[in-house]
Amino acid sequence: MRMFRKKMKKAQVTAFIIMGIVILVATAIFFLAREKAYIFVPEEVHPELRGPVQNFIDQCLYDVGSEAVKQLALSGGYIYLPDSMRYDPLASIKFHPAVPVGIPLWQYRNELRIPSLEKMASDMKRYVEENIDSCLNGLEPFQDSYNVYYGKPNVSVTIGRSDVVFDMHFPVTLTAKFKDETNEYEDFSVRVDAKLLRAYELAKEFLERENERGFMEKITVEQLAIDPEIPLNGVKFQCARLTWYEPELKKRLQDALSIIIPGLRFRNTYHAPFNENEERYREWQDISVEQYAVGNLPDGSPPEDMWEYSKMFINFTDKDFSELSLSVMYLPQWGMLFNAKPSDGPFMKSAQQRATNRFLSMMCVQIIHFVYDIYYPVLVSINEPTSFGGEGLLFRFGMPVVVVDNQPNREVVPSSIDVPAGGSEEFCSSRTRKTFAFYAVDYYTGEQINHVNFTYRCFAYDCPLGETRPDGGEYRLVASVPDSCVNGDIIASKSGYITGTAVFTGEDQTTLRLYPSRKYEVAAKKLELPDYWAEEDLDSNDLVLIQLESNETGHSVYAKVPPEQGHDKIELILGDVTYEASIMFIDNGVFAGGYFGNWTTNYTEMKDASSVTFKVAFEEPPPEDQDSQLELMTFLYNNRTYLEDLKPEFR
């Protein structure tokens, strides 16, 4: 009996071991199948392929969707940059000159370029639709046993609070080669574990608070003040004039900022702790001048890192982002515009005076007073550690630090508005009971215009209202508007006129004045600096980016030469209008010239013309590094002598 029990016990142990091995192998096969789902090969023809095919396509959608999220986060919320951001050397941060696309600045020339959630979702949608075919590979694992037919994927993306959802409509049909069997699939959906929205919210909060307070500019000015080698204000009694070499001062500031800025810590985010409790720092920070004078000080010595707490701990928000870390970085190779005033070329000199008091008249006085204009980009990085199963998500964007006359300069336009949930069809379905009258008139003649299309727009949703028609001796449209959006935009459009926009105020009638327009074929010529006397045709590697903006009319134009297919004409107001022209010349992917200034069109020159030729000044050979590109762009902005000679020409 004892021997039987012993054998029984041994048999039970053996059974458990075998069972454990089976479970272990099954678990390994399960996770291996998940990890390698994209190379899954069915061993036999199954009567129901729903699981393998669904898993195969879901895995591809998850993998490519994850790539889209990561790439978008690393590139400031963009996967596809507009050309005006892609080629402008000042519009992004490039880690290496050979890398054509950098990390975009979210603020540029007083304009906020924060991508909206809709833009981010659109970029990820496009990325998945363009790249998922390489993962699906024609559903090759199933082709031995099935004839595979599939359509074009149509993806929608939803950025949620804790994940990003990719829904894909992708009709697939598998017909068995050796039996009468057909399997059909249409819709697929995966959730990518990435808290993209949370990182985006902190990024927006950081830039918006920086624009209000200019704390990065204040740090820059403080560094100017504490560096004894960089002159600001002062008096020295000596006869020899003091001289400084501006490039050396620029390098000193760049080197100092590259060390100081990464050491900044930000309240209400996750950061490296200070040496002591915060109460201890506050005790020393709140001491008044009178307390210092009488020696009324806290017990003991101040914390060793008191200076870091006082000067390098930034309180920029009251919101809680304690699960996210935030850091800022600057590298000297990203360039810096550094302009000291007054200066004599690269040299800065003190102002010399003699004392006016007759007892001191033999003494010389050197007056030191300089102001600085400084511009440089910084990279802001936000890390969300729990995304992708603990792998983490890194969100990065760039922003400029701008100092003008030793003061922060953070003037910007209002931030973009996020798009609400819902759709255009639902938006248009519910209308007001009251109807309103809409008119469009020619801006110059004041005459009413027939067949003008009116649209009501709220955020990204458009609701067509109809078009003006003859009605009681006038041209007008009478229509109701969506009742779910107050103060939306009324848009009036008609061929031969610039599209007009006005805020709907709820009044009985709305009238939009439309500028007459004409479309012109667009061409470009280049003229070499410094003489720019001979026009040259563009080479095959040349690209001209044209941006025109009229402050008085609100009209803007964007074009390329050579043009993209179907965009070989630009539409201009047919009249005397002043445009601010920002025209960039790109030589083999490198900024090499342009035309920057005001251009006023002339109705007499325009009325019989069919084309307009833009001219750009360029440098040969093109500037090699980013600093040289910045210098060239600064020269073209400040030197206005070439504008008249190179103004665009109607032909």
At residue 43, does pLDDT exceed 50? Answer: no
| Residue-wise pLDDT tens digits, 262-288 | 999 999 999 999 998 888 888 887 777
In this prediction, residue 457 carries a pLDDT of 84
How far, in Å, CA of 502 to CA of 466, rounded? Answer: 16
Phi-psi label, residue 329: left if phi above 0, alpha if psi -120 to 50, beta otherwise: beta
In this prediction, residue 343 carries a pLDDT of 83
Comparing 54-63, 103-112, 388-397, 405-414, the range with the smallest average pLDDT is 405-414
At residue 32, does pLDDT exceed 80? Answer: no
Taking residues 193-200, report their average pLDDT.
96
Q: Share the mean pLDDT of the chain.
A: 84
Strands 269-270 and 321-329 come out as parallel
The larger pLDDT score, comparing residue 557 to residue 352, is at 557
The SS3 of residue 422 is: coil
In Å, what is the CA distance from 583 to each residue of 88, 616, 637? Answer: 10, 7, 11
At residue 46, does pLDDT exceed 80? Answer: no
pTM for the full model? 0.63
In this prediction, residue 50 carries a pLDDT of 59
In this prediction, residue 427 carries a pLDDT of 65
DSSP 641: T
pLDDT bucket at 353, cuts 50 / 70 / 90: low
Taking residues 393-406, report their average pLDDT.
93
Question: Would you call 362 exposed, middle or buried from its count of C-beta atoms within 10 A (0-12, 13-18, 19+)?
Answer: exposed
pLDDT bucket at 410, cuts 50 / 70 / 90: confident
User: Which of these, 172, 181, 178, 179, lies nearest to 148 by C-alpha position?
Assistant: 172
pLDDT bucket at 345, cuts 50 / 70 / 90: confident
In Å, what is the CA distance from 257 to each residue of 94, 223, 232, 370, 469? Answer: 18, 8, 18, 20, 64
At residue 17, does pLDDT exceed 80? Answer: no
The larger pLDDT score, comparing residue 100 to residue 472, is at 472
What are the extents of the domains in the chain? 36-41+49-78+115-194, 197-273+304-408, 424-514, 517-650
How far, in Å, CA of 60 to CA of 205, rounded? Answer: 34
In this prediction, residue 561 carries a pLDDT of 92
Fold of 424-514: Immunoglobulin-like (2.60.40)
How far, in Å, CA of 133 to CA of 170, rounded? Answer: 11
Read off the tokens for 541: 């590697």
pLDDT bucket at 101, cuts 50 / 70 / 90: low
| Residue-wise pLDDT tens digits, 292-328 | 767 778 888 888 888 888 888 999 999 999 999 999 9
How far, in Å, CA of 647 to CA of 601, rounded? Answer: 10
The SS3 of residue 259 is: helix
| Residue entry with tokens 């067949």 | 451
At residue 414, does pLDDT exceed 70? Answer: no
Read off the tokens for 6: 């012993």
How far, in Å, CA of 139 to CA of 152, rounded? Answer: 13
Q: Which one-letter amino acid corresponds to residue 49?
A: L
Concatenated DSSP letters for 560-610? EESPPTT--EEEEESS--EEEEEEEEEETTEEEEEEEEEEE--HHHHTT--
